[in-house]
A = this chain, B = another copy of it.
Amino acid sequence: MTETLSPTPRSTLGRHAERGRSERSELHDVLDAGLVCHLGFVADGAPVVLPTAYGRDGDVLYLHGSSGARYLTGDEMPACVTVTHLDGIVHARAVFSFSMNYRSAVAHGVARRVTDSDEKLRGLRVIVEHLTPGAWDHARPPTRRELAATSVLALDLGEASVKVRSGPPADEDDDVASDAAWAGVVPVRTVFGTPEPAPDLRATRDVPSHVADRADRATG
């Protein structure tokens, strides 16, 4: 894939095109910082949007297909995957200029069902390690039966856009001069809390470092 995102008609931004980012590394950053994506597809002519876990392996996105897979009758379907980080509520002097600070990535393409068992195992590992790095080697690996019961979808990141807004409100000069209202940003951040061991866990087991180290840190 190229280093820059080459827009197609549907990955060309409409409103606020100045918020677009064109580097592939920026697409990767937004995707890597997320925990849940929203998978969109078409069922009986109508759109469906479902949240699901995902992970990135180079320029392939792997999705945990439990939710979407029941709609997937063949081996592939047109899909759109969106990852959004809300970074702040932007209070302007004028209601019209209220906004949000955010980072979002939108990937368009054809999601395919992963059927090869090696790729499925790799995709599942990518998804689990994305959700919680270090977990794959710590936990019991899937059996052949469990792997067969799992759906993994893959989406190439060939057609995608990234949009970022940051910084203070952008009021009209008249509104700034009039000093009509408070203006500024209320930051929003998503953080991990203190791990809560399962009630049936043996008390002698410490929280492993790959879990404990996340406490009180931002998710991305």
Contacts and interface: CB of A to CB of B under 8 A. Distances in A.
Nearest to A102: B51
Interface in A22-66: 35-36, 38-51, 53, 66
B186 A192 contact: yes
Contact of A51 (B43, B104, B215): B104
Contact of A191 (B16, B100, B169, B191): B191
A195 B191 contact: no
Nearest to A79: B47
B35 A181 contact: no
A113 interface: no
Interface string A128-171: 10011001101111110010011000000000000000001101
A191 B193 contact: no
B139 A92 contact: yes
A142 to B, nearest CB: 5
B194 A135 contact: no
Nearest to A100: B53
B169 A198 contact: yes
Taking each of A38, A67, A175, which has the highest tally of chain B beta carbons within 10 Å of its own beta carbon? A38
Give the interface SS of chain A, mostly helix, strand, loop or mixed.
mixed
Contacts of A88: 193, 196
A179 interface: yes
A188 B80 contact: no
A128 B45 CA distance: 32
A211 B189 CA distance: 16
A122 interface: no
A132 B135 CA distance: 37
A84 B84 CA distance: 11
A86 B193 CA distance: 12
Given A70-B15, A95-B140, A192-B187, A45 B42 contact: yes
A95 B141 contact: yes
A214 interface: yes
Given A93-B139, A168-B198, A176-B200, 9 more contacts: A41-B47, A49-B81, A51-B102, A94-B140, A182-B211, A185-B196, A186-B192, A186-B214, A187-B194
